[in-house]
Amino acid sequence: MLGTTLAGRYELVAEVARGAMGDVYEARDHELGVRVAVKVLRAEYLADDSMRRRFRREGAVLKALDHPAIVRLIELEVNPEGMVFLVTEYVEGSTLAERIAKGPLCLEEADRLTVALSDGLESAHRHGVLHGDLKPANVLWPAAGSEPPRLVDFSASKILGLDRLTATGEVSGTPAYMAPEVITGKTAVDRRIDVYGLGVLLYEALSAVPPFEDAHVGRLIMKIDAVDCLPLDAVADVPAGISDVVARAMHRDRDRRYEDMAALKAAWQRARGR
């Protein structure tokens, strides 16, 4: 699709990411003369009403959320040919996954990450939205250190009070980063699935390795549901207090996790002596 101009305005100039539902492009907005990001629903899903609804709901969620740590929606568009796409702000930099590939974050970088994402997720939760797929690939890491990291890809988001996952229901997200209660589907989800997700993300950001790995998805799920991972301070050069914060956020028993993002952020800052 490179070179295509959507809505007579957005010229796709480079592919920057491929997701489960759509591909993301850097684009030129010829109307405003700025760079934007355009996420296009894949052609194979255009005739799938459920996928179109899910894609459009992501746009509706982003429109409802307004926070510096959440990527800003510019437009949700359905063009005359039936193509569906989202236009968001373009963030100069990389994904957190690309940053981690260069080595673990230092504690100062982890501070930047924790404060931004916990505040952004707390805001989303106040609006009744759970992200549901926190992982390094879904965090933008701006080149400018003065800018906060941004959460992207709310395609697996859940609306509190409306979405209930059951053992026979659809589970969306990435298994290695899912909370045990999401994988088992035995209870209604709440904000603590994102507390868990942020804990996993911090573990990987500070160690450059995920807490749970297995090429076989079934075994991976069993590990997440029944096995304790190595403590963070056993695989990374971090203080014991930080390791304890991450461990509590990732606890298999959600009643023993932090109750919300504000509590996780406060514990992190205490561990950092702030």
Active site residues: 133
Cα–Cα dist 87/82, whole Å = 16
Q: Indicate left, alpha or beta for 179 from its phi (over 0: left) and psi (-120 to 50: alpha).
A: beta
Cα–Cα dist 78/265, whole Å = 39
Phi, psi at residue 25, to the nearest 5°? -125, 150
3-state secondary structure of 172: coil
> What beta strand segments (E) does the chain contain?
5-6, 10-18, 22-29, 34-41, 73-78, 84-89, 93-95, 129-130, 139-142, 150-151, 158-159
Cα–Cα dist 36/186, whole Å = 40
Which residues are bridge partners to 36 per DSSP?
A: 27, 89
Residue pointed to by tokens 């800052």: 269
Residue pointed to by tokens 């603590």: 192
